Amino acid sequence: MVIFEYRGASTFLTSILDHSACEIHMGDPGGSSSTSQPLPSFQITMSAPRFCHRCIFVPGTFASTNLPRFVNDVQIHDAAGRVWQIGVDSRANGVVRRFARGWAEFYTTKNTRPGDTCVFSLINGDVPAFNVFKVAVGGGEQTMLVLRNETM
């Protein structure tokens, strides 16, 4: 499960919980936040009916309220420095619909399975960014999802 907590000013705190139901607390990789408001976030539990191994759908209300229109792709960075390019499918009005092309490789490489929940929290910055953490039983690795704003 991935949990996104909105902290304000385009900032999200993201937590990823695996199917073991264990929660591992990790320090804020971006430093402490002085904002007391909750951050915009959303969570997705990976499930076969949603085809989460091929794409993940971004909740429409979240996308239209918090993300720039006409974003073409995202980059996912892991703790080892590996980068995945993930294509973004948008509606005709430019609102992000889902993360698609390239998601399957990330999903497989990071051993994500149905039942895992991912939390996406928007973090601060000129370009909106998501931090995503994949936490495994017995240890964790940080995976960072960064949105690049590119107009069509």
In a domain, 108, yes or no: yes
Considering only 27-36, 54-63, 94-103, 139-148, which range has the smallest mean pLDDT? 27-36
Asked if 50 contacts 112 with a C-beta cutoff of 8 angstroms, the reply is no
* Spatial distance between the Cα atoms of 1 and 117, rounded to a whole number of angstroms: 1
Number of domains in the chain: 1
Higher-confidence residue: 100 or 41? 100
DSSP state of 48: G
Higher-confidence residue: 5 or 65? 65
Question: pLDDT value at position 36?
Answer: 52
Q: For the chain, give the mean pLDDT.
A: 68
CATH assignment at residue 44: 2.40.330.10
In a domain, 10, yes or no: yes
Higher-confidence residue: 33 or 68? 68
Question: pLDDT value at position 152?
Answer: 40
In a domain, 141, yes or no: yes
* Average of per-residue pLDDT across 42-67: 78
Domain containing 70: what range?
2-27+37-148
pLDDT band at 37 (very low <50, low <70, confident <90, very high): low
Does the pLDDT value for residue 113 go beyond 70?
A: yes
* Spatial distance between the Cα atoms of 144 and 121, rounded to a whole number of angstroms: 10
* Spatial distance between the Cα atoms of 73 and 104, rounded to a whole number of angstroms: 14
In a domain, 32, yes or no: no
DSSP state of 101: T
In a domain, 58, yes or no: yes
Question: pLDDT value at position 1?
Answer: 65
Q: Which two tokens stand for residue 137?
A: 């039983």
